[in-house]
């Protein structure tokens, strides 16, 4: 616990406006004010499995997301059992929210990750896209700075039952794709494309969330993507 605290404290001192540890290389995240504003209830949940038992040395993936991730993470843990350990952090915060990068840094400091599967978007639908882009880039660069060995996978935000909200999710995804292309070396798990053809009346529980059979489909896609990223990293390491 002390080790994590001091590592985190050092990171905060090094990061101007909570950008990553090398400010001259990074885009500062705009946290001087709460651009999105608060939701009525803000929340944050994190679990890390097999941190000290006999399975602790297996490859590890960090899943970052929101309630969509919180729904599929259980199935991902089951699918990856015996292949990868899972840590997940899910929250209601936008990447521009004050303290988002601090919370992300705590998760990144807890273990060594082979894969980081990252998503942030559905709680950012009321955030100006240009501001979200800055925060999104800062988050990816923080991951890369703190976990340089990890393969980063960006998961696009899922579509919604509401067409207007779906259009904003698509807009953020398109903006995020440009950031990912500029940074390079980041894979994409296109959950939006996989979910968009589904029936809004049959496959959604509410505006945001999916029914159980769709959650199982998402978990399978995420688990397969994480294993593919892990295997790609392993092959790359052998080549070097």
18: left (phi over 0), alpha (psi -120 to 50) or beta: left
**CA 132, CA 178: separation in Å to the nearest integer?**
13
The two structure tokens encoding residue 161: 């039952």
Q: How confident is the model at residue 33 (pLDDT cuts 50, 70, 90)?
A: low
**CA 158, CA 112: separation in Å to the nearest integer?**
28
The two structure tokens encoding residue 79: 């699918």
The two structure tokens encoding residue 49: 């499995």
Q: How confident is the model at residue 41 (pLDDT cuts 50, 70, 90)?
A: confident
Helix (H) or strand (E) holding 155: strand 151-155
Q: Structurally, what CATH architecture does the domain formed by 59-239 represent?
A: 3-Layer(aba) Sandwich (3.40)
Each residue's pLDDT tens digit, 171-190? 999 999 999 999 999 999 99
Q: How far is CA 221 from CA 66, 80, 83, 134, 194, in A?
A: 17, 12, 15, 28, 9
The pLDDT value given to residue 155 = 98
Each residue's pLDDT tens digit, 141-159? 999 999 999 999 999 999 9
The two structure tokens encoding residue 69: 């991730």
Q: Is 114 helix (H, G, I), strand (E, B) or coil?
A: coil
Q: How confident is the model at residue 15 (pLDDT cuts 50, 70, 90)?
A: very low
Torsion sign over Cα 15, 31, 89, 76: negative
DSSP state of 189: E
Q: How far is CA 222 from CA 23, 48, 115, 118, in A?
A: 32, 17, 11, 11
**CA 166, CA 160: separation in Å to the nearest integer?**
5
Each residue's pLDDT tens digit, 90-122? 999 999 998 899 999 999 999 999 999 999 999
Contact 96, 127 (CB under 8 A): yes
Mean pLDDT, residues 193-198 taken together:
98
**CA 91, CA 67: separation in Å to the nearest integer?**
7
Each residue's pLDDT tens digit, 73-97? 999 999 999 999 999 999 999 999 9
Q: How confident is the model at residue 4 (pLDDT cuts 50, 70, 90)?
A: very low
The two structure tokens encoding residue 40: 């009525």
Q: Write down the domain spans for the chain.
A: 59-239
Q: What DSSP string runs through 2-22? A: HHHHHHHHHHHHH-GGG--S-
Each residue's pLDDT tens digit, 120-143? 999 999 999 999 999 999 999 999
Contact 204, 211 (CB under 8 A): yes
The two structure tokens encoding residue 134: 């800055």
Q: How confident is the model at residue 235 (pLDDT cuts 50, 70, 90)?
A: low
Tokens 């925060």 correspond to what residue? 135
């Amino acid at each position: 616990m002390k080790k994590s605290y001091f590592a985190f404290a050092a990171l905060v001192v090094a990061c101007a406006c909570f950008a990553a540890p090398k400010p001259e290389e990074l885009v500062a995240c705009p946290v001087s004010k709460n651009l999105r504003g608060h939701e009525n209830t803000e929340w944050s949940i994190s679990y890390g499995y097999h941190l000290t038992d006999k399975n602790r040395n297996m490859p590890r993936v960090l899943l970052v997301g929101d309630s969509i991730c919180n729904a599929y993470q259980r199935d991902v843990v089951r699918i990856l059992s015996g292949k990868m350990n899972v840590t997940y952090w899910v929250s209601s915060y936008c990447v521009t929210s004050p303290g988002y990068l601090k919370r992300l840094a705590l998760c990144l400091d807890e273990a060594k990750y082979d894969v980081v599967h990252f998503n942030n978007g559905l709680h950012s639908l009321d955030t100006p896209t240009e501001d979200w882009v800055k925060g999104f880039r800062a988050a990816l660069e923080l991951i890369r700075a703190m976990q340089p060995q990890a393969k980063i996978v960006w998961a696009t935000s899922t579509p919604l039952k509401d067409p207007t909200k779906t259009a904003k999710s698509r807009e953020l995804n398109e903006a995020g794709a440009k950031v990912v292309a500029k940074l390079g070396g980041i894979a994409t798990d296109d959950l939006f494309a996989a979910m968009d053809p589904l029936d809004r009346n049959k496959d959604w529980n509410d505006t945001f969330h999916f029914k159980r059979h769709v959650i199982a489909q998402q978990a399978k896609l995420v688990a397969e993507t994480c294993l593919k990223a892990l295997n790609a990293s392993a092959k790359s390491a052998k080549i070097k």
